[in-house]
Amino acid sequence: MTKIKTTLVVATMAIAMAGCAKKRPEVLPPAPVSQGTGVDPNAGANTNPDGAIVPGSDADFKRSVTSNTIHFGLDQYDIDPESRAILDSQAQWLARYPNVRITIEGHCDERGTREYNLALGDRRANAAKNYLAARGVSPERMNVISYGKERPIALGSDEASYAQNRRAVTIVLS
């Protein structure tokens, strides 16, 4: 009896895969909103029906702070003076909206190995988190996630692209 059940599940899977569109039952998670590209994951929550930007939204955050992104040196995770200024502006905005939660994404360039870069991205996101915490943002409001080298924003294999990809991005959750 168990055996028959199993076979049915497998058969259903095969059909779902062949269709390439349907979600498989019980196997896969609900569709995520976004894969965290640092590019507007909250679109829709940012504006009112009349098109105005909602105060406290990610769109509001991005237009209010110096930048939502800080950058790092090769294989580095220290916060340089430029990044400090950016994070200061983020901390000020977050102080105005004390109930807003954020995710900080850590990213790397493609010159590291995959697993090491997951750890390095975690270091970078935590460096930003620790700095914001020191500026008064409660750690409970901050999630970190490392994407390693999985989500570059600059596609070239050159130093200019690498410099853009070594980053930590602050995203306001809706």
Partner 1 sequence: MPRSLLTLPLTLALAASAVGAQDVPAPAPQDQAAAPAPAAGQQPGAAPANGQEGLVVDVEGGISAPMPIAIPAMPTSAVVQTPAGTTDVVGQKLSEIIANDLRNSGLFTPVPPAQLRTVSFPEVTAPAFDYWNGTGAQALVQGYVRANGDGTLTVGCYLYDVLARSELARQGFVVSPSDWRRAAHKCADTIYTKLTGEGPYFDSRITYVSETGPKAHRIKRLAIMDQDGANHRFLTNGQSIVLTPRFAPNQQSIVYMSYIDKRPAIYVYDIGTGRQRLVVQNAATTFAPRFSPDGRWILFSMAQAGNTDIYRVSSQGGSPQRLTNSPGIDTGGSYSPDGSKIVFESDRSGGQQIYVMNADGSNQQRISFGGGRYATPVWSPRGDLIAFTKLGGAFRIGIMSPSGGGEKLLTNSWQDEGPSWSPNGRVITFQRSTQGASGKADVWMVDLTGVNERRIPTPLDGSDPAWGPLRQ
- Residue 128, helix vs strand vs coil: helix
Residue 91 in contact with partner 1, rule: CB under 8 A = no
Q: For residue 26, state whether it binds partner 1 (rule: CB under 8 A).
A: yes
Beta carbon nearer to partner 1, 50 or 115: 115
* Stretch near partner 1 under the rule CB under 8 A, chosen from 49-57, 65-73, 87-95, 125-133: 125-133
Q: Which stretch binds partner 1 (CB under 8 A): 4-12, 46-54, 62-70, 94-102?
A: 4-12
Dihedrals phi, psi of 84, to nearest 5 degrees: -60, -45
Decide: is 115 part of the binding site for partner 1 (CB under 8 A): yes
The candidate with the shortest Cα–Cα distance to 105, out of 50, 35, 29, 15, is 35
Q: Is 31 in the site for partner 1 (CB under 8 A)?
A: yes
In sequence order, which residues have a C-beta less than 8 Å from that of residue 159 and are 6 or more positions away?
none
Query: According to CB under 8 A, which one of 23, 63, 84, 96 is a site residue for partner 1?
Result: 23
